[in-house]
């Protein structure tokens, strides 16, 4: 470490450390708090291929919540990076607590039908890294369902569940929702508690709702939002959650929508055309739609990638899924399972996550956290650039993904081909994980290849109402 301590000094430090370790022994003896488990359940089972034709399920169960509530009669899937007590996660651990969002769903009368497949450690924008095999797109089973909330999107789209919880660290709700033709919302950072979910990078992690329509997406958001009571510094504890479903509107008179030039320019031409044509339809409901340039949007992916790659290396890998420096409930059982896996079978990490670890180790050795720090500072500028436009316009609008669902890699594909299949589609999504703005995707129509095209609507911080209203207005316009 280059500290140049003498043998005498090392002896003193050894005595000092020994004394400090006695305090650690005491921490080991103390019993910490646990999150509540309210509703009876059985462990469930791993579904057979015949009842898992899309490979969207990791584990099936049937957990019934309260007899009544906002979600009474609704069936829900939970992304497999979110804890459900007594039900296995892919890491092989049966966790003994429910994540905050799971408890809220059950309290609202929801019925959990299982854990939905996600990408290995949630580190892939496509859907081919899960150890059980690829998750298939319901619109074309040779194509990806998007990642990393791949199973949640595929199962909602196929009608096997009404709604699902997804996780979004760089587009992982919005990309699969776009590719599968459903609605997916990344809320404002801190609106939905992350307690009980496995993080990648604390400043980017979001949980959010996925559904077949805007109303159900808004309904699930109502249930899972708000303070979680665990003093979690990742959660906005003073925010009052409105009843989103009661504020949905079809009339857009007075609403101002900014089409972001750079958000269209990075996309395939057919995707641009579908989303622009869709956006202009909102003028028939009274909205003003104008094109606006935000040049720094072009650097959003680069800024967020530095935060995400180095953050994942330090939080998920070196920090074993908990990391440091935030207040709230740390899942020691989830951390223990990750630690065992990383230590005993590092060779089993997915190819995409191996790339994260190799890159993170290289940067740490040669540059420490220089680029992470600078990227976080640049994110202040990026956030301000979006906020400046949002002072004049109600929302920003652009395609969700740069392309439609890509082909799944072939079994004989090369590593280079598989890594390439995990990049490029996220350019519009990832900046808003950095800035924390709410962003919803809704199906804007189909491209020339017959596949769904997602339209992303981005609003001011904690103004989920506006993004939901505009998405709902467009959805209702399509029914006329």
For residue 208, the Cα-to-chain-centroid distance in whole angstroms is 7
Residues with Cβ within 8 Å of 395's Cβ and at least 6 positions away in sequence, in order, are 255, 257, 258, 457, 458, 459, 466, 467, 470
Note the Cα 119 to chain centre separation in Å: 11
Q: What are phi and psi of 32, to 5 degrees?
A: -85, 170
d(Cα 256, Cα 116) in Å, to the nearest integer?
37
Beta pairing, strands 256-260 & 136-137 = unpaired
Tokens of 1: 């470490």
The structure tokens listed for 475 are 């959805």
Task: Give CA–CA dist 465/473, Å, rounded.
Answer: 12
Answer whether 145's CB lies under 8 Å from 138's CB.
yes
User: Which sequence positions are flagged as catalytic?
Assistant: 79, 148, 172
CB-count burial class (<10 Å; 0-12, 13-18, 19+) for 296: middle
**Residue 478 — φ and ψ, nearest 5°?**
-70, -20
Burial 22-60 (b: 16+ CB within 10 A, else e): eeeeeeeeeeeeebebebebeebeebeeeebebbbbbbb
Asked whether 360 and 313 are in contact (CB, 8 A), the reply is: yes
């Amino acid at each position: 470490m280059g500290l140049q301590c003498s043998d005498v000094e090392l002896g003193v430090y050894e005595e000092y450390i020994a004394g400090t370790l006695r305090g650690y022994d005491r921490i080991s003896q103390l019993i910490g708090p646990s999150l509540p488990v309210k509703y009876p359940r059985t462990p469930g089972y791993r579904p057979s291929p015949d009842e898992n034709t899309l490979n969207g399920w990791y584990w099936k169960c049937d957990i019934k919540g309260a007899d009544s509530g906002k979600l009474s009669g609704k069936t829900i899937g939970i992304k497999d990076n979110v804890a459900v007590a007594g039900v296995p996660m892919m890491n092989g651990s049966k966790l003994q607590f429910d994540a905050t969002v799971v408890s809220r769903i059950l309290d609202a009368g929801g019925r959990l039908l299982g854990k939905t497949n996600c990408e290995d450690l949630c580190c892939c924008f496509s859907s081919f890294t899960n150890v059980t095999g690829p998750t298939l797109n319901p619109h074309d089973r040779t194509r990806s369902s998007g990642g990393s909330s791949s199973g949640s999107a595929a199962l909602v789209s196929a009608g096997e569940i009404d709604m699902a919880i997804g996780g979004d660290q760089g587009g992982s709700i919005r990309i699969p929702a776009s590719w599968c033709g459903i609605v997916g919302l990344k809320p404002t950072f801190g609106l939905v508690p992350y307690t009980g979910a496995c993080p990648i990078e604390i400043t980017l992690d979001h949980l959010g709702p996925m559904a077949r329509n805007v109303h159900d997406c808004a309904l699930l958001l109502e249930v899972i939002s708000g303070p979680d009571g665990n003093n979690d510094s990742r959660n906005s504890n003073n925010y009052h959650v409105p009843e989103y479903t009661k504020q949905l509107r079809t009339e857009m008179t007075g609403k101002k929508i900014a089409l972001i030039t750079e958000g269209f320019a990075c996309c395939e031409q057919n995707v641009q055309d579908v989303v622009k044509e869709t956006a202009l339809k909102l003028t028939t409901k009274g909205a003003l739609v104008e094109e606006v340039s935000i040049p720094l949007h072009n650097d959003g992916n680069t800024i967020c990638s530095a935060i995400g790659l180095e953050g994942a290396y330090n939080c998920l890998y070196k920090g074993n899924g908990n990391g440091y420096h935030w207040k709230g409930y740390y899942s020691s059982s989830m951390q223990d399972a990750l630690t065992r896996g990383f230590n005993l079978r590092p060779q089993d990490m997915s190819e995409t996550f191996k790339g994260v670890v190799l890159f993170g180790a290289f940067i740490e050795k040669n540059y420490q956290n220089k680029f992470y720090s600078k990227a976080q500072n640049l994110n202040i500028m990026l956030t301000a650039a979006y906020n400046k436009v949002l002072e004049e316009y109600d929302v920003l609008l652009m395609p969700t993904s740069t392309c439609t669902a890509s082909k799944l890699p072939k079994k004989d594909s090369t590593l280079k081909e598989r890594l390439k299949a995990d990049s490029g589609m996220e350019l519009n999504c990832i900046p808003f994980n950095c800035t924390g703005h709410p962003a919803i995707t809704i199906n804007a129509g189909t491209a020339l290849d017959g596949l769904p095209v997602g339209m992303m609507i981005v609003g001011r911080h904690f103004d989920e109402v506006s993004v939901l209203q505009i998405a709902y207005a467009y959805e209702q316009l399509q029914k006329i």
